[in-house]
Chain A
Amino acid sequence: MTDAELVARCRTGEDQAWNELVERFSRYVYAIATQAFRLSPSDAEDVFQEVFARVYEHLDRLRNDDAVRPWIAQLTRRLCIDRLRSAGREGPVGDEELEIAEVDESLARLDEAMTVRAGLEAVGENCREVLDRFFCRDESYRVIGEALDLPAGTIASRISRCLSKLKAELEGRSEPVRPS
């Protein structure tokens, strides 16, 4: 399901679609708050909930449903900055400009990461699961093997095979990486 299709279903009030939307973008919002802006866990949680509250409240105002990802990124960015400002943690102007450049770089990387993650949807459940467990959840071969009922010795080759499959999937897409 595309982002636009998911947004359309959310607008009809479908609970399952909302659950899917939160699931799809939760890592993105979390990463922006904790990696790009380095918020504390407490501040990051407040921003995280605020982002989804506003998305839920203002989804009708989104003019282009395909743009939900940059919209969420922008919203998260703004709320993170508000949070830092309200805490009085802004540095001198020079430092702030430097930080903004770093933040923008980080946001661009996270946007690319979301593009790669979207490619996972096309490689099948087995590959999605093993790649997510190994790279995103940092699980060991043993833990993955136990969870998926596979011999631990086969996990490395499966990861390699699935990465190649994901690479082929991404290369087959003509859509360029969108900046945040």
Chain B
Amino acid sequence: MSSMTGYDEVRIAELLRLLPPAPLGWVRAAQELPAARIEIAGLVARAEADAGFRARVIADLESALEAEGIEATPSVVAALRSRLESD
């Protein structure tokens, strides 16, 4: 296990270069997850109450979202998948 002590400026600069910003759109989408969670709450509630519907949703998350009028962005799909897996 190493310590930061002894790192020179060159090494620090190399390490800084390893972390460029993620695409802004990805970051914004992830930041909007709390809002997306509210948006998909109705769909999740129906899936919890109806096993058949839940199976159809899990089989095709994108189509299920589109059918509810919710845009199936990667962040929304990921939020829905995570909600269904945790229930």
User: A residues near B, CB below 8 A?
Assistant: 13, 15, 18-19, 22-23, 26-31, 35, 45-46, 48-50, 52-54, 56-58, 109-110, 112-117, 119-120, 131-132, 135-138, 160, 163-164, 166-167, 170-171, 173-177, 179
Which partner residue on chain A sits nearest B74 by CB separation?
A: A49
* Max count, chain B CB within 10 A of own CB: residue among A13, A135, A160, A177: A135
Once A26-B21, A112-B15 are accepted as A-B contacts, the answer to whether A45 and B26 lie under 8 Å apart by CB is yes
User: B residues near A, CB below 8 A?
Assistant: 1-9, 12-13, 15-23, 26-27, 29-31, 33-34, 37, 73-75, 77-79, 81-83, 86
Which partner residue on chain A sits nearest B73 by CB separation?
A: A49
Please determine whether A31 and B19 come into contact, CB atoms closer than 8 angstroms. yes
Please determine whether A45 and B19 come into contact, CB atoms closer than 8 angstroms. no
Neighbouring B residues of A50 by C-beta, 8 Å: 78, 81-82
B78 in complex: contacting residue of A49, A117, A177, CB < 8 Å: A49
Please determine whether A136 and B16 come into contact, CB atoms closer than 8 angstroms. yes
Please determine whether B26 and A48 come into contact, CB atoms closer than 8 angstroms. yes
Q: 6 closest Cβ contacts across the A-B interface?
A: A30-B22, A53-B78, A135-B16, A52-B30, A49-B78, A53-B82
Once A163-B9, A170-B12 are accepted as A-B contacts, the answer to whether A49 and B29 lie under 8 Å apart by CB is yes
Interface of A is mostly: helix
A109 in complex: contacting residue of B7, B18, B22, B78, CB < 8 Å: B18
Neighbouring B residues of A177 by C-beta, 8 Å: 1-4
- Give, as a whole number of angstroms, the nearest-CB distance from A139 to chain B: 11
Which partner residue on chain B sits nearest A61 by CB separation?
A: B86
Give Cα A179 to B17, complex, Å.
19
A26 in complex: contacting residue of B1, B8, B12, B27, CB < 8 Å: B27
Give Cα A110 to B73, complex, Å.
28
* Max count, chain B CB within 10 A of own CB: residue among A18, A49, A132, A137: A49
Neighbouring A residues of B26 by C-beta, 8 Å: 26, 30, 45, 48-49
Neighbouring B residues of A54 by C-beta, 8 Å: 78, 82
Please determine whether B16 and A116 come into contact, CB atoms closer than 8 angstroms. yes
- Give, as a whole number of angstroms, the nearest-CB distance from B28 to chain A: 9
Which partner residue on chain B sits nearest A23 by CB separation?
A: B27
Please determine whether B75 and A52 come into contact, CB atoms closer than 8 angstroms. yes
